[in-house]
């Protein structure tokens, strides 16, 4: 068996592999470590797990959530710890002070890391870890400490070399190789240069629309434009601040459009043109031609779904990467970005009307969708191919950049800059002394000639 090969992932996955890849040389044992109790984070990995099992591989998944489907080829291990259970968390209140929120994360992750190996099923996984050909983790909110997976989220290149001993890095290289699957695609934003072991697989969870439930299909029929609102699985609509909630209800009640609202609790009747339900088949709704606006928190997966199904976005971000996403979509001309704290009936209503009445938003999102769809291979095939590739090639060390082994001073050429600075100072000093010597010699010669004349 190979040593563990680590794949750090920021990905989103879901279509099935259509057989374009050659059959694998053998069945691999793959471990997915997803101890964070977040549905969205788990949903990122589920389609990849499914695709790998379709290729004949054995997948074991460590999670704090129940199985997402009834796939018999995925072995679920529930650690049973609820430190990161956000089902009762009001994200609007929790994100009032994001620095405090990150302090809470530190406490939560420390507690989880200390207790997780006390769970018998997890301890069995740890003891049998060498049987796995591959370990896949989530780069963000992974509770695995740096002695197992030395990663940092914000700016890892200098931080890793500042806080982890270089000799420890060398030791780790004998055990781990890293392939990064990125939940991005250049059509979604600004293109960036990537290394060979950084592979864009963004939008792997995207799929064609399925038939809608009868009640939704009936509501969406006709010619009236439809507005769809959902804040995802973490920031629930039922926790929206009262002032903003009053704005939304008031505007929805007066809109000349139909509204579909994912709302997790009971809500008094707003009007027959507003359809409220606790769960919605989001991609199938966004794909409907009558849906003209998606009111969203601008989570990455939901935003990708809106782009794929060509629906303009009204962004009301809550936390994390959502404000950045909202600004990016607004700059791309496919969204309007509003703030919760400054939300008014006028701004909210005007944004909805603008997105529906101005054709530029529909044209821009259609163009972005077409750019994304035009790929030589679908994202899930790329993810599966590179996952198998690093196993076949024993970690694929040839993909790694030599820059990974440099300290931050070497990487930023600080040592060379200092050397050049020293050389420049020395040259300046020598030139200054030489010029001073020349002027002094010239003055002495002039004085001698002057004295002789006298």
96 and 165 assigned to the same domain: yes
Helical ranges in 164-208 per DSSP H: 166-173
Q: How confident is the model at residue 7 (pLDDT cuts 50, 70, 90)?
A: very low
Instruction: Identify which of 24, 38, 34 has the alpha carbon closest to the alpha carbon of residue 390.
Output: 24
395: left (phi over 0), alpha (psi -120 to 50) or beta: left
402 and 276 assigned to the same domain: no
- Is residue 239 within 8 Å of residue 91, measured between CB atoms? yes
Instruction: Identify which of 6, 111, 128 has the alpha carbon closest to the alpha carbon of residue 77.
Output: 128
178 and 289 assigned to the same domain: no
306 and 390 assigned to the same domain: no
Q: What is the C-alpha separation between 327 and 350, in angstroms, rounded?
A: 18
pTM for the complete prediction?
0.81
Q: What mean pLDDT comes out for the span 256-282?
A: 91
Residues with Cβ within 8 Å of residue 87, at least 6 apart in sequence: none
271 and 145 assigned to the same domain: no
Instruction: Identify which of 167, 194, 165 has the alpha carbon closest to the alpha carbon of residue 182.
Output: 194
Q: Encode 363-380: b = buried (16+ Cβ within 10 Å), e = exposed.
A: ebbeebbeebeeeeebbb
Whether 54 shows a pLDDT value over 80: the answer reads yes
Among the ranges given (207-216, 219-228, 352-361, 406-415), the one the predictor scored with the smallest mean pLDDT:
406-415
On the CB side of 137, CA atoms within 13 Å amount to: 22
In a domain, 209, yes or no: no
168 and 41 assigned to the same domain: yes
Please tell me the total count of domains within the chain: 3
Q: What is the C-alpha separation between 43 and 209, in angstroms, rounded?
A: 18
In a domain, 1, yes or no: no
Domain with 231, as residue range(s), is: 214-373
In a domain, 449, yes or no: yes
pLDDT in tens, 386-396: 999 999 998 88
184 and 59 assigned to the same domain: yes
Total number of residues shown for the chain = 454
388 and 252 assigned to the same domain: no
pLDDT in tens, 406-454: 877 888 888 889 999 999 999 999 998 888 888 777 666 666 665 666 6
Helix (H, G, I), strand (E, B) or coil at 8: strand
pLDDT in tens, 80-134: 776 555 556 666 766 666 666 666 666 666 666 677 777 888 888 888 888 889 8
């Amino acid at each position: 068996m190979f040593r563990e090969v680590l794949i750090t992932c920021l990905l989103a996955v879901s279509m099935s592999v259509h057989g374009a890849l050659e059959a694998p040389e053998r069945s691999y044992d793959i471990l997915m470590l997803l101890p964070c109790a977040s549905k969205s984070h788990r949903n990122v990995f589920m389609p990849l797990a499914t695709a790998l099992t379709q290729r004949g591989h054995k997948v074991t998944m460590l999670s704090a959530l129940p199985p997402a489907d009834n796939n018999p080829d995925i072995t679920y291990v529930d650690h049973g710890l609820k430190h990161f259970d956000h089902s009762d968390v009001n994200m609007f209140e929790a994100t009032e002070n994001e620095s405090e929120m990150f302090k809470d994360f530190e406490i939560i992750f420390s507690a989880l890391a200390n207790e997780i190996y006390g769970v018998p099923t997890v301890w069995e996984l740890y003891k049998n870890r060498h049987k796995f050909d591959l370990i896949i983790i989530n780069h963000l909110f992974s509770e695995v400490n740096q002695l197992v997976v030395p990663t940092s989220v914000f700016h890892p290149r200098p931080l890793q070399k500042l806080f982890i001993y270089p000799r420890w890095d060398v030791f780790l290289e004998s055990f781990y190789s890293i392939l990064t699957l990125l939940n991005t695609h250049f059509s979604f934003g600004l293109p960036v240069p990537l290394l060979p072991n950084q592979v864009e697989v963004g939008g792997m969870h995207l799929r064609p629309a399925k038939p809608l439930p009868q009640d939704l299909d009936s509501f969406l029929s006709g010619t009236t434009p439809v507005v769809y609102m959902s804040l995802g699985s973490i920031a629930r609509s039922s926790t929206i601040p009262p002032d903003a909630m009053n704005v939304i209800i008031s505007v929805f009640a007066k809109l000349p459009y139909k509204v579909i609202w994912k709302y997790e609790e009971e809500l008094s009747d707003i009007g027959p043109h507003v359809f409220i339900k606790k769960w919605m088949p989001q991609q199938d709704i966004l794909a409907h031609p009558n849906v003209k606006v998606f009111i969203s928190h601008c989570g990455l997966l939901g935003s990708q779904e809106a782009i794929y199904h060509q629906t303009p976005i009204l962004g009301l971000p809550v936390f994390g990467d959502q404000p950045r996403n909202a600004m990016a979509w607004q700059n791309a001309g496919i969204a309007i970005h509003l703030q919760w704290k400054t939300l008014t009936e006028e701004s909210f209503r005007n944004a909805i009307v603008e997105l529906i009445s101005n054709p530029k938003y529909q044209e821009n999102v259609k163009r972005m969708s077409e750019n994304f769809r035009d790929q030589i291979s679908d994202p899930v095939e790329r993810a599966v191919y590179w996952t198998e590739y690093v196993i076949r090639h024993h970690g694929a060390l040839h993909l790694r950049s030599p820059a990974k082994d440099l300290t931050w001073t070497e990487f930023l050429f600080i040592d060379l800059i200092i050397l050049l600075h020293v050389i420049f100072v020395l040259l300046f000093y020598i030139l200054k002394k030489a010029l001073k010597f020349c002027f002094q010699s010239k003055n002495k010669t002039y004085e001698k000639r002057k004295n002789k004349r006298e």
